[in-house]
């Protein structure tokens, strides 16, 4: 897989070409961890030229997104092919990423979120505690709560029914994500 990097303002646009299997995902994750260490947190992955993605690569994308979110950034997908979209749709993983069909829209989406840190005068509402998340270390609680909030906003979790009847696909994503966090 080839990775071409382009810096657009404070966003790293990564044009990916080829297959995205385990070795490629490991290389991409290692490189993105270096960029995060250099304080680059906003990424656009141009997936137009990705022909194949496997489950290891999906888990790597979730890990990378978690790291970016922990730092106040995000990973957004640009032009994923239909075969990649289909694979990411299994377990509703695709719903965890913002997807764009144009480069300009993807870049603009980061500019709309410039003030990601809430103003001191208007603190964000605290999420209600969820008993099973309390068992996770404090550094991972925020990530799990953010994931839950995303799933709630996308309509996959009804807050009142959360502990009793999650949609099967949401439960699958949550279980996979939780296993990754507990490693």
Whose tokens are 């209600």? That residue is 128
**In a shared domain, residues 107 and 136:** no
Name the domain boundary from 112, 143, 166: 112
Question: According to the model, what pLDDT value does residue 147 have?
Answer: 77
Name the domain boundary from 84, 112, 140: 112
> In this structure, what token pair is assigned to residue 83?
């075969």
Cβ neighbours for 96, distance < 8 A, ≥ 6 positions apart: 62, 65, 147, 150, 151, 173
**In a shared domain, residues 138 and 79:** no
Domain that holds residue 24: 2-112
**In a shared domain, residues 27 and 102:** yes
Among 35-39, 45-49, 173-177, name the one with the lowest average pLDDT. Answer: 173-177
Structural domains of the chain, count: 2
Q: For residues 69 and 89, what is the distance between their CA atoms, to the nearest angstrom?
A: 21
Stated pTM of the model: 0.62
Q: From 10, 124, 140, 151, select the one nearest 74 (Cα to Cα).
A: 10
Q: For residues 75 and 166, what is the distance between their CA atoms, to the nearest angstrom?
A: 25
Name the domain boundary from 64, 79, 112: 112
Q: 112 pLDDT band (50/70/90 cuts)? A: low
Question: According to the model, what pLDDT value does residue 58 have?
Answer: 92
């Amino acid at each position: 897989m080839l990775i071409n990097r382009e810096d657009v303002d404070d966003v790293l646009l990564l044009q990916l070409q080829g297959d995205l299997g385990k070795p490629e995902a490991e290389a991409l994750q290692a490189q993105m961890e270096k960029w995060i260490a250099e304080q680059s947190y906003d990424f656009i992955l141009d997936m137009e030229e990705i022909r194949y993605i496997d489950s290891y690569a999906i888990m790597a994308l979730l890990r990378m997104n978690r790291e970016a979110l922990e730092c106040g950034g995000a990973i957004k997908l640009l032009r994923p092919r239909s075969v990649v979209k289909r694979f990411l749709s299994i377990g509703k993983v695709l719903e965890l990423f913002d997807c764009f069909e144009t480069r300009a829209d993807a870049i603009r989406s980061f500019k709309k979120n410039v003030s990601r840190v809430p103003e001191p005068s208007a603190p964000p509402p605290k999420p209600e505690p969820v008993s099973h998340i309390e068992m996770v270390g404090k550094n991972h609680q925020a990530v799990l709560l953010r994931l839950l909030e995303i799933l709630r906003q996308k309509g996959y979790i009804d807050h009142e029914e959360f502990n009793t009847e999650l949609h099967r696909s949401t439960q699958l994503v949550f279980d996979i994500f939780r296993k990754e966090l507990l490693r």
